[in-house]
Amino acid sequence: MDPNNSATETPGIFVGDGSGTPIKVMALGDPLPGIGTVNSVPGIFDMNNSGVLAYVANLTGSAYKGVFLGAAGGTQHAIALAGDIAPGTGGLFNDFRETDVDINDAGQMAFWAGISNSTSTTGRFLATETSLPIARLVEGQALPGGGYAGIILPAINSFIGDYASLAESGEMSIYVFHVTGGSNLPKKLLMNTAGVPRLFLAHGEKAPGLSGYIALIIQASGTNSKGDFSSLACISEGSAKMAIYWNGGKPNKK
């Protein structure tokens, strides 16, 4: 900021390719018809190869916070707002995190949400510009292999994909740190395009393809354009100490 420049600065998100003037996506004070105005601009957001951005914004108006999809120079679409019905929970959305939005090239957006008026206080959801959010994993949901999802944690390391990753196929990888009932040990799940979960890895279980056991699962997952997921795990009681697993493949020792 130039101390000799008395012009008012307005933060915003812009998209450019270096060949011309960047185009605004959204900025502080922008009106959102029927909702209110933008009163904070996120520092973290995600963009797909079509130039569509997924982001969280604080608002002044009928809702205080929301999750949005929009392209530069285009209409910004509210995907979920605080106070909207949170599907699969019987409650209402009441919080979102800017580090927990993920968009693929099909225009599907995954996001974390806090929930009020429900025994499910947290969850992860999937939506598009033209479809309402659907629950992918909510607190209290039964898990494959036993137990129930406890509190669904948002990202804690300030990067998108920390606890959940969205593939181009529409499948998701979700790390469940809090598990109630059963063994009460963390698990990593893969959710198919219909939202049906299957177990990828679980703490304490036999390490696939190895002689030891899964001692620690790194919460972030890698994904590729084919919809495959990979995950790093630490191994105990075996000759291998670490391994990279991917769904449908054989373990790749590291």
List, for residues 92-104, the tens digit of each pLDDT value.
Answer: 999 999 999 999 9
The C-alpha atoms of residue 61 and residue 76 are separated, in whole angstroms, by 16
Task: Tell me the Cα Rg of the chain.
Answer: 20
State residue 251's pLDDT score.
40
State residue 22's pLDDT score.
92
Given a cut of 60, is residue 181 above it in pLDDT? yes
- Higher pLDDT among residues 36 and 138, named by residue: 138
Bridge-based pairing of strands 77-81 and 222-223 is: unpaired
Residue spans per domain, the chain = 12-253
CA 169 from chain centre, in angstroms, equals 15
Q: What is the DSSP string of 59-98?
A: EEES-SEEEEEEETTSPPEEEEETTSEETTTTEEEEEEEE
Q: Are the C-beta atoms of 234 and 244 separated by less than 8 Å?
A: no
Q: Are the C-beta atoms of 235 and 241 separated by less than 8 Å?
A: yes
State residue 199's pLDDT score.
95
State residue 78's pLDDT score.
95
**pTM attached to this predicted model:** 0.91
Kindly indicate the confidence band of residue 254, based on its pLDDT and cuts at 50, 70 and 90. Answer: very low
Kindly indicate the confidence band of residue 4, based on its pLDDT and cuts at 50, 70 and 90. Answer: low
Local structure of 36: helix, strand or coil: strand
Q: pLDDT digits over 125-157, tens only?
A: 999 999 999 999 999 999 998 999 999 999 999
Q: Are the C-beta atoms of 72 and 24 separated by less than 8 Å?
A: yes
Kindly indicate the confidence band of residue 1, based on its pLDDT and cuts at 50, 70 and 90. Answer: very low
Residue 103 has, within 13 A of its CA and on its CB side, a CA count of 24
- 97-100: long-range pairs with CB below 8 Å, 24+: 97/56, 97/154, 97/155, 98/42, 98/43, 98/44, 98/45, 98/55, 98/56, 99/44, 99/154, 99/155, 99/158, 99/159, 99/160, 99/162, 100/124, 100/154, 100/155, 100/160, 100/162, 100/163, 100/164
- 3-17, 70-84, 240-254: range with lowest mean pLDDT: 240-254
State residue 6's pLDDT score.
53
Q: How far is CA 178 from CA 82, 112, 126, 182, 215, in A?
A: 25, 15, 21, 11, 16
